[in-house]
Amino acid sequence: MPSAAGIRLRIRMTARPIDEPHRASSQLELLFDLTFVVAVAAVTAEFAHSIAEGHAATGLVSFLQVFFAIWWAWMNFTWFASSYDTDDAAYRLLTMLQMGGVLVLAAGVPAAADHSDYRAVTFGYLIMRVGLVAQWIRAGVEDPARRRTALRYAGGIALLQLGWLVRLVLAETIDLPSSVLLSLFIGLAILEISVPRWAERTGATNWHPHHIAERYGLFTIILLGESVLAASTGVQDALTTADVSGSLVGVAAAGLILLFALWWLYFLEPAGEGLAEYRHRSYLWGYGHYGLFAALAALGAGLEVAVEQTSHPPEISPMVTAYAVAAPAGLFLLLLWAVHLPIVTSPVLRPAAVLGGVTAIALVPLAAPRVGVPVVIAAIAAICVLLIAGTISRARSD
């Protein structure tokens, strides 16, 4: 019932219609996303430092692990909210609890990256999972038609959170090799992404396809914004130690054009209609975004490194710097085509064009020692712009 201030204190949690008109992200969801800005910024900055110091491979392992926790927590909340968002007092408080967990996780990113100390990251993840488990239990109590599904979600998430705690205890009490800890992480991550498939065998949840597509689009914009922030941080650092150079301006301008182009490419292919028509393939689309989102975050780290190299004595070769930008950009293009393939009968991005663009992006950094990193990034941006122009031109002729 609403209070005198108009706040809905208690609403029965039942499944929302999948065809609810004008379904859009709520103010609470936007606030929830805002907390992830901090977490993504932290993991991007640490990965940039690893690349700049010549430890890209080691940094990548830590980056992918922490980013998995960020992405999976965001995704779990997003799909739950699409099905059961009541926006009443209890729902808001439990969502805010999850936001607090995100901030704790973000605070633990430097320790995880520098010392493989995942205590704060695991504790932040625990806080987020406690909030989500409570939400699913509430859904199980108040929505009898999908009680088994909701309680399966709650039980699966709680059991796996216990697994993460056991992994942390083992890491803290036994000197396990990093390969064993990585294997445990991979095993638990596989089990995590298996929970939704297992839980929904007893009945599918009522997520809204257009709402989900919008939420993923908003998170894409957040990640692109983090790339802008990472690049601007690099520019700021460069300006404190050197005068503005042509290389600095070139990298900054080319990087910005590249980000604009990737934004344009992502929204060329609306996903809402495809998700509505092929709901059973939503797992492929949703899970595929892990790589796509990680590529965007890694691109931010690469751009930050490229900017820093214009004013500091480089610790890595121009080719490595160029590939720090080219690899995530190429991976983004490839995954952008791949994730839409299961839900779109005629993809806007043609495979030949994508593969041609990705191949060109993979080869361009080889010229970095001769032409310089700014020219390579400009060439990558130009390839993406040409891909946009070709796609639009073909669509108009059709």
DSSP 11-33: ----PPPTT-TT----HHHHHHH
Q: Which of 358, 360, 368, 362 is nearest to 316 (CA)?
A: 368
Is 398 a residue whose pLDDT tops 70?
no
- Would the pLDDT of 126 be above 90? yes
Query: Do 306 and 281 share a structural domain?
Result: yes
pLDDT of residue 111 exceeding 90:
no
pLDDT at 227: 80
What average pLDDT does the chain have? 90
Q: What percent of the chain has pLDDT over 70?
A: 94
CA–centroid distance for 191 within its chain: 19
277 with 257, same domain? yes
385 shares a domain with 247: yes
155 is a domain residue:
yes
| 315 secondary structure, DSSP code | S
Q: Looking at residue 234, what is its pLDDT? A: 63
For the whole prediction, is pTM greater than 0.95?
Answer: no
Residues 170 and 220 both lie in one domain: no
Q: What is the pLDDT of residue 230?
A: 67
Q: Does 216 lie in the same domain as 188?
A: no
Judged against a pLDDT cut of 60, whether residue 376 lies above it is answered with yes
| Pick from 34-38, 310-314, 337-341, 370-374: least confident | 310-314
What's the N-to-C CA distance of the chain in angstroms?
53
- Categorize the per-residue pLDDT at 2 as very low, low, confident or very high, splitting at 50, 70 and 90: very low
Q: Which two tokens stand for residue 166?
A: 């056991």
What is the percentage of the chain residues whose pLDDT exceeds 90?
A: 71
Which segments of the chain does DSSP mark as H helices, in order? 27-52, 56-84, 89-107, 109-115, 119-142, 147-173, 178-199, 209-241, 246-266, 272-277, 282-309, 318-340, 351-363, 368-371, 373-397
User: Does the structure show a pLDDT above 80 at 244?
Assistant: no
* pLDDT over 50 at 177, yes or no: yes
Same-domain pairing of 217 and 288: yes
- Which residues, at least 6 apart from 264, have a Cβ–Cβ distance to it below 8 Å? 388
Q: In terms of domains, do 177 and 307 share one?
A: no
* Residue 15 within a domain: no
Query: Tokens 């004595």, residue?
Result: 313
Give a yes or no: residue 39 inside a domain: yes
Boundary of a domain, candidates 202, 225, 257: 202
- 378's tokens: 């400009």
Same domain for 167 and 32:
yes
Number of structural domains, the chain? 2
pLDDT of 3 over the 80 cut: no
pLDDT in tens, 185-233: 999 999 999 999 999 999 899 999 999 999 999 999 999 988 887 667 6
Q: Is residue 164 part of a domain?
A: yes
Determine the structural domain holding residue 72 and report its residue range: 27-202
